Amino acid sequence: MSEQVCTHCGSTFGPEELLFQCPKCGGPLEWRDLPRFDPKLIQKNMPGLWRYRPFFPEVLPERPLTLGEGWTPIVHVPKLGDNVLFKLEYVSPTASFKDRGVALVINQLHRFGVSEFADDSSGNAGASMAAYGAMAGMTAHIFSPAYAPKGKIEQIRAFGAELTLVPGPRPEATKAAVAMAEKGVFYASHAWVPVNIVGQQTAAFEVWEQLGGEMPDAVAMPVGQGTLLLGMYQGFKRLLEAKVIDRIPRLIAVQAKKVSPVVQAFEKSLDDVPAVEPDYTIADGMAITRPVRGKAILEAIRESSGTAIAVTEEEIEEARRKLALGGLFVEPTSAAPYAAISRLDIPATEKVLIMLTGSGLKKPDGGK
Ligand SMILES: [Zn+2]
C-alpha cells in the first residue's frame, strides 16, 4: 500500500490522510511504495495521463475528473537542432505542464470532499488550479504577485477563481496564501501537496512510451519549485526499477541568472538550497527564491549525472525568438533550456529532450 513519508523527519502517514506537509515537523511529504510500473497494466483506453492510473496512489478515483491532461506531443524540428527533441507541455488544457500534477491534486481533494482551497502562484499553477477547481465545483483562492503576466491573470479570472494580487516580490504571495490557510482553508500548494509530483512522473512514462523505449541522453527543463524535475526523476527511477529502461537520462536544471538558487547551490556542492534575494526576471514562471524541495532537487540532478545552469535575460529572449522562428511559441521561462543547451558541450551523437512547459500566449510580448 502506498504511503506518505516526510522527507525531513521520516514520519509516515497513510493514504487516507489529506496532508500538504508533515504535521509533525512541517517538512515536505513524498509518496512512497507506489504500485510497481508494469507496461502490461497501462490503460490505453483512458484519456491522457490516466492511462497510468494503476501506478498512482490507491486513493485516486477509478473514474477521474479530467480535462484531457497529459499525453503531450514530442516533436523534432530539424531547423532547431538535429539532436534536439521537444515535448510540448504547453499543449495542455490550461497551456502549461502544471495540469499534470494539478489533475491529481484536484481529484484527491474531490475524493476528500474539499470545497475550498488556497494556492499561491506566479500564474501557471494558479490558472491550472482555477480551471480544475472550477470543473470540480470548488472555490479557488489564488494569490499571485501583482507583476504576474496579464495573460495568466486573465486566465485565472476567467475560471472564476477568487484572485488576490499581492504587491512586492514573489514570496509575498506565498505569505498571503499561508495566512488564509491558517484560517482553515486547505493549502493546496502545488509545491507542497505530494500527489502533484506523482502527476509529474507521468511525463517520464510518456517519454519512454512515445519514443518507443529510445530514451534521450539528457532532459533539460526550467526549474522553479522543481516539481517537474523531481517528478521526471522519480518516474525514470520507477521505469528503471521495473527494468523497462537501463539508465536515467541526465537531468539539466535551468534557471534565470537573476533568480538561480538551485544553480548556485549546485555549483557550491551544497546539500540544500539556501534562499537568494528576490529579483525581477522575464522568466517569471521560475522566479522562486528558495524551492520547498531543494535537497531532493540537488540529489536528483547529481544522481542522474546531470547539471544546473543559469542563463541571462538576453539569452532567454534570444532563445524564445529562435524557437518561435521554428514554429514553437513559448513563454520566456520555457525558452531558457534551449538557451542553456547551446552552452553545454553535448556531443552530436547524443539526443536531448527539452520540456517546453508553458505557452507563448501566456505572455505574448515576452515580458518587455
Ligand atoms: Zn516530518
pLDDT in tens, 244-290: 999 999 999 999 999 999 999 999 999 999 999 999 999 988 999 99
- CA of residue 28 to ligand 1 center, whole Å: 7
CATH hierarchy code of domain 98-187: 3.40.50.1100
Q: Which three cell numbers stand for residue 277?
A: 534575494
Match 532567454 to its residue by C-alpha cell: 316
Chain-centre distance of CA 235, in angstroms?
13
What is the DSSP code (8-state) at residue 93? T
- Is 98-187 the same fold as 74-96+194-362? yes
User: What local confidence, expressed as pLDDT, does residue 259 receive?
Assistant: 97
Residues 286 and 224: their CA atoms lie apart, in Å, by 4
Q: Would you state the torsion angle of the CA atoms of residues 17, 18, 19, 23, taken in this order, to the nearest 10 degrees?
A: -40
CATH hierarchy code of domain 74-96+194-362: 3.40.50.1100
Q: Which three cell numbers stand for residue 272?
A: 540544500
User: What local confidence, expressed as pLDDT, does residue 248 receive?
Assistant: 98
pTM summary value: 0.97
- CA of residue 20 to ligand 1 center, whole Å: 11
- CA of residue 300 to ligand 1 center, whole Å: 20
Q: Would you state the torsion angle of the CA atoms of residues 235, 238, 242, 247, taken in this order, to the nearest 10 degrees?
A: 70
Q: Are 286 and 223 in contact (CB under 8 A)?
A: yes
Side chain identity at residue 257, one-letter code = K
User: What local confidence, expressed as pLDDT, does residue 209 receive?
Assistant: 98
- CA of residue 60 to ligand 1 center, whole Å: 23
- CA of residue 190 to ligand 1 center, whole Å: 18
Residues 339-356 pLDDT 10s: 999 889 889 999 999 999
Which burial class, exposed, middle or buried, applies to 7 when counting CB atoms under 10 A from its CB (0-12, 13-18, 19+)? middle
- CA of residue 22 to ligand 1 center, whole Å: 5
- Pairing of β 186-187 and β 218-222: unpaired
- CA of residue 145 to ligand 1 center, whole Å: 29
- CA of residue 5 to ligand 1 center, whole Å: 8
- The structural domains of the chain, with segments of one domain joined by +, span 1-33, 74-96+194-362, 98-187
Q: Would you say the C-alpha torsion 160, 161, 164, 165 has a positive or negative sign?
A: negative
Side chain identity at residue 237, one-letter code = K
User: What local confidence, expressed as pLDDT, does residue 368 receive?
Assistant: 64
Q: Are 141 and 176 in contact (CB under 8 A)?
A: no
Residues 216 and 352: their CA atoms lie apart, in Å, by 6
C-alpha distances (whole Å) from 52 to each of 12, 46, 205, 229, 248 are 24, 9, 8, 19, 19
- CA of residue 29 to ligand 1 center, whole Å: 8
User: What local confidence, expressed as pLDDT, does residue 169 receive?
Assistant: 85
- CA of residue 30 to ligand 1 center, whole Å: 11
- CA of residue 12 to ligand 1 center, whole Å: 8
- CA of residue 41 to ligand 1 center, whole Å: 33
| Segments of the chain scoring below 50 in pLDDT | none
- CA of residue 81 to ligand 1 center, whole Å: 45
- CA of residue 34 to ligand 1 center, whole Å: 20
